[in-house]
Structure 1
Amino acid sequence: MNRLGQETSPYLRQHRDNPVHWFAWGDDAFAEAKARNVPILLSVGYSACHWCHVMAHECFEDAEVAERMNELFVNVKLDREERPDVDAIYMDAVQAMTGRGGWPMTVFLTPDGKPFYGGTYFPKDAFLKLLTAIDDVWVNKHDDVTKNTKQLIEAIDKTSKIEPADDFPTVEQLNKTVQLLGRAHDPEWGGFGQAPKFPSTFNTELILRAYMSSGAEAAKDVVVTTLDAMASGGIYDHIGGGFARYSTDREWHVPHFEKMLYDQALITKTFLHALVVLRLPQWRQVVQETIEYVLNTLTHADGGFYSAEDADSPDADGNGVEGLFYTWTPDEVRGALHDVKPEFVEEALVWWDITDDGNWPDGPGVRRSIPTRRHARGQLERSDAQNFIRQRLFQAREQRPRPGLDDKVLLEWNGLFLGAISEAGAVFGHQPWLDAAIKNAEFLCDEMRDDNGRWYRSWHADAEPGANGLKARQMALAADHAAILDGFTRLAEATGKARWIAEAQQVADTMLDWFFDPSNGGLHTTAEDAEALVVRQKDINDTATPSANSLGALGLYRLAALTGELRYANQADRILQLIAGQVDDGPTMYANALIATDFRRRGATEVTIAGDRPDLVRVAQSIWRPDLVLAWGERYDGPMWDGRNDGFAYVCKEHVCNAPVDTVQDFAEQLLGRPVTIRDTITDEITDAHRASDPGE
């Protein structure tokens, strides 16, 4: 029987009607495998994964394949987003065996969970042959299975055995990584490397920091070329806002259309930081529309942020077609704008490059177009008439069958977006975004933390409350704690509310109590009292999301500066010492760890604004410096507030302070470290075109 009917994961629900006798990950599956003495077939994916859907249709919905799977194996379905700890272990095993990885992932395990063979996508015929071959090995060549499992366990257990270096990642390693990224940069289309192209936000952030230190035009060119090309390409949704997962080509033209919450968070931050530093006004629009996409489409009524939208949407026959929701023909545009002056309609077709020939080479049926601005890269700001037409196209598109929504709420990804929307709300001075951030933070505290202060990773509205009284499931991982630590500190800086500093400290203490390795340093992926997996790894590589260790280190350094609690900085030091010896093996895999290193190297700039001085707060929130932490509003214990007199701003470096100031001019000069020209307002020198009192205008 298929046992997925009661699961709340949207991905597992997609498979609850399969003829495969699926188990969810858990003790029942392992007990069944031991009782039958057969291997476990572990299938891993996620709800927005296009090729997961393809393999499901070809294999798991097929009666012949299902019969063979049920006969030979205990079959387990796993949502990688709910259990990235499990996914990471077996992905490492697949990569060790095959040299590559991806989803869907298929791994064959012994009844005690040890991997012995695996791969990614298999079409039906190849999959049937594989099932027969694995059965033959299990029955007739058990010594080979034992040999394979031993070698693979050694390969996937490496991170738990890393010993710390004597020092931190060095300036030389930091500079070497920047140089490597410079050489990997595509000077024509931006990004790093060739196709497929991913946003690689940590790489871009690292280059932006290099520009801030050196003023080198080459570094600036990397950032501008990359962000303009991304925002002008098909990877950006020009009609509805937000970014697709990645581009299948070098030119950011044809995306893999799934939209992930974590991408919206990380890309928003990168565009926001570049906007403040480089003041290119077209990026303001990108930040606004990406945030509004999440608030309009990926937000639960109670404040949690959903995980993703699918790449596929149904056609007239009910078949899932990738990108169908997002692409257009000229006739569809004309139909949506039937009452608009023809010249404006034709202008819209040219503006978004929607043609009879189409620009989507992989599109089904009639030639369709992905709206892009590649032909006018960086020219994104629209007239009032173009905004009106965009809104009409958006309304018409909303009448189409939407891509599938993954409406689970993940603590880690919510923490990432909480940090992004808090920063953006402060920079833009936009209260609705700050209100959404507060509502989200309160949701996380109320719905994803139990009475003992322990956090959970995944929440779904349809779940029945568990023994903890919550609809949340799966004990939170180190990455969850690191992300909400960042989110709460950013929210405290954006709102001036002391509560969020207290919440950040609670998260940091829980993270260090349950995940920190007292012997070698660093954060284990899973808590000390978590389910025992075949190995207990440490998440150290920065991939599509920051590693738990790099994000945790940066969060701890910032929290130490905000509170004066040096123990947080000491543990962050031990995290970076753990990573230091690994950087030379693949510097670009540690870009976010090097960002944390750069923060440590610069030292924190602590800014306190005491009393009711919204003009000074506005200055502080209009200038992005990667080493700056900000305290204002409600006071709390710590050196940021000791001896601070109302009406003054204090700018300190590692708690050594300049003279207090009480004018916008003097405060701006202390922050920027140079003379500034302030006329009637602070907009010219400090915020210029990127400042927006109301992003909806």
Structure 2
Amino acid sequence: MYELPPGAVAQSAALRQRLAVAAEGHDAKVAARALHKDSAGKPLYINRLALESSPYLLQHAHNPIDWFSWGDEAFARAKELDRPIFLSIGYSTCHWCHVMEEESFEDLEVARLLNERYVAIKVDREQRPDIDDVYMTAVQAMTGSGGWPMSIVLSPDKKPFFAATYLPPRGGVRGSRNGLIEILTQLEEAYHVDKRATLESADRIANHLALVTAPAEPDSMPGVELLHSAALRYIRMYDPVYGGVGSAPKFPQPSILRLLLRANAREANPDALQVVSETLRHMADGGIYDHVGGGFHRYSTDREWLVPHFEKMLYDNAQLVVAYLEAYQVSGDPALADVARDVLRYVEREMLAEEGVFFSATDADSEGEEGTFFLWDESQLDDLLEPAEALAVKTRFGVTAAGNFEGRNILHVVAPLDAVQSALSDAGQSGDAATLLQSARTKLYDARALRIWPGLDDKVLTSWNGLMLSAFARAAFVLNEPHYLDVATRAADQLLIVMTVDGKLQRSYWHDTAQIDAFLDDYAFLIAGLLDVYEASSQPKVLSQALALQETLDQQFWDDDHGAYFSTSNNHEVLLTRSKPSYDGAEPSGNAVAAMNLIRLAEFTSDFAYKEKAQALFATFDADLRARPTSSPALLCALDFAHADALEVVVVRAAGDDAKALIDVLRENFIPNAVFVLTDEADVAAHAKVAPLVDEKRALNGQSTVYVCQSGRCDAPTHDVATLRTQLQGHGLRLRD
């Protein structure tokens, strides 16, 4: 049997039995993480997190802290014992979350203090973004910054009176004046000695949170000039040497790049295009990209995109695929399309579950160190590769004996292929540089696969899967790659199966269990993914599925009084605040994606109630957009669509004809404010039931026919590529030659 965590309230026999049974069903990696073990190598301690179905919470199941999950039991315990609550929020692939666990949460003195004087609660921010949003707002209000792990002290009624991020166990560690022990001791004493003042402070903070998240009174529909204003600000923030917007640390920020492409589409702006093209090039060349396995790491710690935090997130890679595809449509540069393909190759190989849905993330750490899995010694390359391959890799990626990161090498492109070819020639080595680099990459991947892999967060999140649906569906369309569409349609089908419980969409799925009613992001991102699948797949049922989800979103999340969508539904747990997100973080805001969905649905269905709802949403955020336009690039992308005279393009394929030449015009050009329907003539009636814009359109004279319509008026149907191009240009589009 497990020992009771030090200082913890005694556990009932029934609870101890439940915990023991749960532990028997865990993956061996859960127990292996434990620092405190008995003579047989088994964990000494166990807590209630062993009962959870979150990879992050299970990482803490054998801490000596008597952790609770967020729920009634924990808050009842706090009220019964009259204790403050220590709330820790993080996620499974967070490097500093791991550091705080190892340094602070495995420390027996910290554990005893928490167990004797607090009720300790752990939350997985990826499963409960609603809780994360409330208390991140508190952290930012109280400290001026934010991040994870989040460390908050609450009253028993959930009101915060202290907030921080990473905290060491005690003062002096990592140069800190105070650590958890000193801070928690002082706060607990203040709570009991001067409880009135402490609770009044908590009330003031809670009131402030309610004020800053209170629904704004709707204003007027914001103008498209905000798009240009934000674009100019981004251009001024551009790093002309290394690309990107801002300085270190540098994040990918794909929504900004997509906004700049739309600003350029409205009014040719070479500066905007330079920001996009140079940023995407530097990122793909940098250490933020995994040049062996593919895919982007979370962000760069430096200006040069060289040293990343090494975790890989599904949402980053999904959004970046779309950004690279759109930039490819604008420029025609095949290198951009190649990056998108390489990212999708990585996702299929490492992030695709057997069911066809997508895992969430991989960790930065392996073997107890950040980045170890991804680093190379020069000698390793010499041992693994043929001399010509080794020379090509060293030249291309700047590999040296000294290394560029803690004595080892992060691969990053420093030499173009022609320079690699010259280096080979100078050394008397034969072979094509590109071929040698590809063969070397395969060998390095196989060798790396024998290392201890970073942890995989194998839970499935509806919102992030929605983003990846869009990535595969958009790639299928733009690159004319049917395999990508197969992946997207299978994932969409499986998501709607495994994420639906008793008719309700769920947020999280792990080990055959779906749980937690879906949030705004889940609905919005999944609807967007389904609309992209519909445009690429010619399957009317997919549009029907999107419409059904939109109906639920409108019923349960829309604010009838002030407009826009709440992040939580009418049926979710009531927290201190109920926010309406409009600012982008690592993911686009739920309202931004929902606004884009509404505009697209209005065009597909000819039901302009959707467009009116989108206009009401924009009016809700008018003041915010005017005050801080650069905080909401995704919402500005939707605003761009709302102000456009949207194009409706229907391609009706004649029997036996794939209409490739006509569709290629749509694939190969950036046409942002449009909807596409590709249908066989035999399926027109089925499409028309859900997408009336298809009604009565035919393949004329037995030939595939394209219809370009705008504001209820259609150009002459055509079978001719040149005529189609002329029509599109007549609507203000700049097409590639």
Compute the TM-score of the two structures, normalised by the length of structure 2: 0.87
Q: 1:395 Cα deviation (Å)?
A: 0.9
Alpha-carbon distance in 2 for matches of 1:566, 1:644: 21
Question: 2:580 maps to what in 1?
Answer: 538
Alpha-carbon distance in 1 for matches of 2:78, 2:364: 34
Alpha-carbon distance in 1 for matches of 2:66, 2:618: 45
Question: 1:562 maps to what in 2?
Answer: 604
Q: Look up the equivalent residue of 2:490 and give its one-letter code.
A: K
Residues 592-634 of structure 1 show CA distances to partners (whole Å, capped at 9, x for unaligned) of 1111110111132111112334323333233331101111224
Alpha-carbon distance in 1 for matches of 2:389, 2:247: 37
Residues 274-324 of structure 1 show CA distances to partners (whole Å, capped at 9, x for unaligned) of 01111122112210111111111011001110000000011xxxxx11011
Question: 2:413 maps to what in 1?
Answer: 373
Task: Indicate which of 354, 370, 394 corresponds to 1:322.
Answer: 370
Q: 1:447 Cα deviation (Å)?
A: 0.4
Q: 1:159 Cα deviation (Å)?
A: 5.5
Q: Look up the equivalent residue of 1:333 and give its one-letter code.
A: L
Task: Indicate which of 639, 643, 666 corresponds to 1:620.
Answer: 666
Is residue 613 of structure 2 the alignment partner of residue 571 of structure 1?
Answer: yes
Is residue 483 of structure 2 the alignment partner of residue 432 of structure 1?
Answer: yes
Percent identity of the aligned residues? 38
Task: Indicate which of 688, 711, 731 corresponds to 1:636.
Answer: 688
Residues 375 and 250 (structure 1 numbering): CA distance in 2 closer, same or farther, change over 3 Å? farther
Alpha-carbon distance in 2 for matches of 1:374, 1:45: 36
Q: 1:346 Cα deviation (Å)?
A: 1.4
Q: 1:565 Cα deviation (Å)?
A: 1.6
Is residue 514 of structure 2 the alignment partner of residue 460 of structure 1?
Answer: no
Question: 1:211 maps to what in 2?
Answer: 264
Residues 537-570 of structure 1 show CA distances to partners (whole Å, capped at 9, x for unaligned) of 1122111101111110011111111111212111
Please tell me whether the aligned partners of residues 85 and 154 of structure 2 are also in contact (alpha carbons under 8 angstroms): yes
Is residue 586 of structure 2 the alignment partner of residue 586 of structure 1?
Answer: no
Q: 1:337-486 counterparts in 2 under 5 A?
A: 337=385, 340=386, 342-360=387-405, 363=406, 367-376=407-416, 383-452=434-503, 454-461=504-511, 463=512, 471-486=513-528
Gaps of 5+ in 1: 315-319, 464-470, 678-684, 689-697
Question: 1:99 maps to what in 2?
Answer: 144
Alpha-carbon distance in 2 for matches of 1:23, 1:594: 41
Q: 1:280-359 counterparts in 2 under 5 A?
A: 280-314=333-367, 320-337=368-385, 340=386, 342-359=387-404
Q: Look up the equivalent residue of 1:323 and give its one-letter code.
A: G
Question: 1:681 maps to what in 2?
Answer: none
Q: 1:265-284 counterparts in 2 under 5 A?
A: 265-284=318-337
Please tell me whether the aligned partners of residues 164 and 574 of structure 1 are also in contact (alpha carbons under 8 angstroms): no
Residues 379 and 61 (structure 1 numbering): CA distance in 2 closer, same or farther, change over 3 Å? farther
Q: Which runs of 4+ in 1 moved over 6 A?
A: 377-382, 674-677
Question: 1:504 maps to what in 2?
Answer: 546
Residues 379 and 176 (structure 1 numbering): CA distance in 2 closer, same or farther, change over 3 Å? farther
Please tell me whether the aligned partners of residues 159 and 537 of structure 1 are also in contact (alpha carbons under 8 angstroms): no
Q: 1:389 Cα deviation (Å)?
A: 1.1
Please tell me whether the aligned partners of residues 606 and 655 of structure 1 are also in contact (alpha carbons under 8 angstroms): no
Alpha-carbon distance in 1 for matches of 2:733, 2:577: 56
Residues 144-176 of structure 1 show CA distances to partners (whole Å, capped at 9, x for unaligned) of 222222222233224642324432222332221
Residues 306 and 676 (structure 1 numbering): CA distance in 2 closer, same or farther, change over 3 Å? closer
Q: 1:89 Cα deviation (Å)?
A: 0.2
Is residue 108 of structure 2 the alignment partner of residue 63 of structure 1?
Answer: yes
Please tell me whether the aligned partners of residues 229 and 374 of structure 1 are also in contact (alpha carbons under 8 angstroms): no
Q: 1:34-113 counterparts in 2 under 5 A?
A: 34-113=79-158
Question: 1:170 maps to what in 2?
Answer: 223
Question: 1:118 maps to what in 2?
Answer: 163
Corresponding residue SS for 1:582: helix
Please tell me whether the aligned partners of residues 526 and 536 of structure 1 are also in contact (alpha carbons under 8 angstroms): yes
Alpha-carbon distance in 2 for matches of 1:97, 1:310: 29
Structure having greater relative contact order (Cα 8 Å, sep ≥ 6): 1
Q: 1:648 Cα deviation (Å)?
A: 1.6
Q: Which moved more, 1:519-528 or 1:578-587?
A: 578-587
Q: 1:674 Cα deviation (Å)?
A: 8.7
Q: 1:377 Cα deviation (Å)?
A: 11
Please tell me whether the aligned partners of residues 202 and 592 of structure 1 are also in contact (alpha carbons under 8 angstroms): yes
Question: 2:316 maps to what in 1?
Answer: 263
Residues 127 and 569 (structure 1 numbering): CA distance in 2 closer, same or farther, change over 3 Å? same
Q: Look up the equivalent residue of 2:384 and give its one-letter code.
A: A
Alpha-carbon distance in 2 for matches of 1:99, 1:656: 52
Q: Which moved more, 1:651-660 or 1:71-80?
A: 651-660
Alpha-carbon distance in 2 for matches of 1:378, 1:355: 20
Question: 1:491 maps to what in 2?
Answer: 533
Task: Indicate which of 583, 592, 600 corresponds to 1:550.
Answer: 592
Task: Indicate which of 630, 650, 653 corresponds to 2:710.
Answer: 653
Please tell me whether the aligned partners of residues 358 and 369 of structure 1 are also in contact (alpha carbons under 8 angstroms): yes
Alpha-carbon distance in 2 for matches of 1:611, 1:425: 18
Question: 1:694 maps to what in 2?
Answer: none
Residues 197 and 207 (structure 1 numbering): CA distance in 2 closer, same or farther, change over 3 Å? same
Residue-pair matches, total: 658
Q: Which has the larger radius of gyration?
A: 2
Please tell me whether the aligned partners of residues 159 and 538 of structure 1 are also in contact (alpha carbons under 8 angstroms): no
Corresponding residue SS for 1:636: helix
Compute the TM-score of the two structures, normalised by the length of structure 1: 0.92
Q: Look up the equivalent residue of 1:221 and give its one-letter code.
A: Q
Alpha-carbon distance in 1 for matches of 2:95, 2:417: 29
Corresponding residue SS for 1:100: coil
Q: 1:505-524 counterparts in 2 under 5 A?
A: 505-524=547-566
Corresponding residue SS for 2:49: coil
Corresponding residue SS for 2:694: coil
Please tell me whether the aligned partners of residues 669 and 676 of structure 1 are also in contact (alpha carbons under 8 angstroms): no
Residues 482-510 of structure 1 show CA distances to partners (whole Å, capped at 9, x for unaligned) of 00110000000011111110011011111
Q: 1:252 Cα deviation (Å)?
A: 0.4
Alpha-carbon distance in 2 for matches of 1:487, 1:16: 35
Q: Look up the equivalent residue of 2:674 and give its one-letter code.
A: L
Alpha-carbon distance in 1 for matches of 2:204, 2:526: 36
Corresponding residue SS for 2:672: coil
Alpha-carbon distance in 2 for matches of 1:253, 1:654: 48
Alpha-carbon distance in 2 for matches of 1:376, 1:630: 38
Q: 1:383 Cα deviation (Å)?
A: 1.4
Residues 587 and 535 (structure 1 numbering): CA distance in 2 closer, same or farther, change over 3 Å? same
Question: 1:680 maps to what in 2?
Answer: none
Alpha-carbon distance in 1 for matches of 2:623, 2:67: 42
Q: Look up the equivalent residue of 2:717 and give its one-letter code.
A: P
Alpha-carbon distance in 1 for matches of 2:316, 2:577: 29
Question: 2:55 maps to what in 1?
Answer: 10
Corresponding residue SS for 2:65: coil
State the Cα RMSD in Å.
2.0
Q: 1:515 Cα deviation (Å)?
A: 0.2
Question: 1:191 maps to what in 2?
Answer: 244
Corresponding residue SS for 2:459: strand
Q: Which moved more, 1:611-620 or 1:11-20?
A: 611-620
Residues 307-345 of structure 1 show CA distances to partners (whole Å, capped at 9, x for unaligned) of 00000011xxxxx110110110111112222xx2x1332
Please tell me whether the aligned partners of residues 272 and 424 of structure 1 are also in contact (alpha carbons under 8 angstroms): yes
Residues 63 and 104 (structure 1 numbering): CA distance in 2 closer, same or farther, change over 3 Å? same
Please tell me whether the aligned partners of residues 665 and 676 of structure 1 are also in contact (alpha carbons under 8 angstroms): no
